[in-house]
Amino acid sequence: MSNAPSYVIDPATKRAILHLSFATFASMTIQRLCDPMLPELSQSFEVSRSQAAQVISYFAVAYGLMQIFFGPLGDKYGKYKVLAWATVGCSLGCFGSALAWDLNFLVFCRVLTATCTAAIIPLGLAWVGDSVDYTIRQATLARVGLGSTMGIVAGQLFGGLITDTLGWRWAFALVGILFSVVGVVLLRNPIAKLQHPLHDGPQAKSLSFFKNAGLVFGQSRPRRILACIGLEGTFAFGAIAISASHLHDHHGLAVSWAGAIVSLFGIGGVSYMALASRLIPLLGETGLVRMGALFFGVSYLLIGFSPHWLFDVIAFIGAGFGFFMFHNTMQVHATQMAPEVRGTCMALFAAILFAGQSVGVILCAALTSIISSSWVLLLMGVSLGVLGWVLPILIDPSKINMKRP
């Protein structure tokens, strides 16, 4: 990497990268905002907790399905422009949620929000892939990812805090204002005004997700990368899904306190993103995925069998740090799977990661009915650790498609 030519990012691109980090922050905040407010929604609309949870489950389904739409749309008309308008659209869903008069309308507004939110992170990552040279792309993706990682923490913390103080409607309204401001800022960037964006690579000929996806799956290396992404989602998010209940059962912690400890996973991610520019040249891609997987595995060994919950405070920070070392490297590989349809590539990345998460949640829930949660957490941690160590062999970084758009 030291022998690579220097690459200068122009001012408009630098501003766009900063603004994208704000957009990804808002995107992840709204995804996690409803997690702590379910009891209040249940009481406000006089429904059961399971019914109130539709604001989360329907959001997740819509978010996953809309990847089929936005990937090709970004490839065809410009990734930056599409995600900028989608950001503005998110504000409409948020303001509608704040004004919801019953649960059905709130669910409808959450689906509308998810429909627009689905464009932001995948197309943002794809746009960075088009705009930034590969030699500095991973560090740039880490800066954009800092926003989404902080959004995970903010959604959990502020969703509960604002609900308890100002009320749940204000939580949606404030995030709606954030989306409005960020959307306008994105659209004011000169890049959004380009008729044929230079930063968006060649314009894809097809709006068909399946046709564009065929270009990706027709190559063996992208197939292996996407398979590893699915396994990553299964192992990592399966473990995260049962972590709070494990702390509750294993250490007798209140559910709210257990959730706060698990949220430290996001702090670990923020820590990695802040140090990424130093760690990337030091460890390289192979070192990052292997050390990250090792961090995650050891952390979940400690979480599963720690004698006291105070050890888990450190372990969850370590798990988040290791996961994002691994995940950030997978993102940069995904951006280079098929440069001519990079928007579709990142849509596939998001959709398969989402599918892996779903499998992981179901798998870990089933396993905990057979063996203790301690052993399930250890199994997930070891599995990701093994994946990290064999990953460089499976995807062979030396065969990266370096075709420039």
Condensed to tens digits (0 to 9), the pLDDT of residues 336-384 reads: 777 777 777 777 887 788 778 778 877 877 887 788 888 988 899 999 9
Q: Is 267 left (phi over 0), alpha (psi -120 to 50) or beta?
A: alpha
| Residue 218 backbone dihedrals phi, psi, to 5 degrees | -75, -5
Fold observed for domain 1-207: Growth Hormone; Chain: A; (1.20.1250)
Burial of 371 (0-12, 13-18, 19+ CB in 10 A): exposed
Retrieve residue 313's tokens: 């405070």
**Structure-block tokens of residue 356:** 């892996």
Name, in order, each residue with C-beta under 8 angstroms of 159's C-beta and a sequence gap of 6 or more.
Answer: 32, 33, 34, 35, 36, 37, 171
Which of the four pLDDT bands, split at 50, 70 and 90, describes residue 299?
A: very high
Average of pLDDT values for 180-189? 84
What residues contact 5, with CB distance under 8 A and at least 6 apart? 135
Beta carbons within 8 Å of 390's beta carbon, 6+ residues apart: none
Q: What is the pLDDT of residues 188-236, one digit of tens each?
A: 776 655 544 444 444 444 456 667 667 777 777 888 888 888 898 888 8
Quote the pTM value.
0.72
Query: Where in the chain are the domains?
Result: 1-207, 208-405
Q: What is the pLDDT of residue 197?
A: 45
Architecture of domain 208-405: Up-down Bundle (1.20)
Q: Same CATH fold, 208-405 and 1-207?
A: yes
**Which tens digit of pLDDT belongs to each residue from 250-291?**
888 766 677 778 778 878 888 887 787 788 788 887 888 888
Angle at Cα 93 formed by Cα 89 and Cα 94, nearest 5°? 110
If one counts every other C-beta atom within 10 angstroms of the C-beta of residue 8, the result is: 8
Q: In whole angstroms, what is the distance from residue 89 CA to residue 219 CA?
A: 35
The whole-number pLDDT of residue 198 equals: 42
In whole angstroms, what is the distance from residue 251 CA to residue 239 CA? 17
**Cα first-last separation, the chain:** 21
Cα(117)–Cα(92) distance, integer angstroms: 11
Residue 281 to residue 365: CA distance in whole angstroms: 39
Name residues whose C-beta falls within 8 Å of residue 78's C-beta, 6 or more positions apart in sequence. 194, 196, 197, 200, 203
Burial annotation 43-55 (CB, 10 A radius, 16+ → b, else e): ebbeeeeeebbbb
Half-sphere exposure in the Cβ direction for 123 (13 Å, CA): 32
Q: What is the pLDDT of residue 95?
A: 92
Residue 298: band (very low, low, confident or very high) from pLDDT cuts 50, 70, 90: very high
357 in Cβ contact with 229 (< 8 Å): no
Whole-number Å distance between alpha carbons of 192 and 80: 6
Cα–Cα distance between 68 and 99 in angstroms, integer?
30
3-state secondary structure 62-113: HHHHCHHHHHHHHHHHCHHHHHHHHHHHHHHHHHHHHCCCCHHHHHHHHHHH
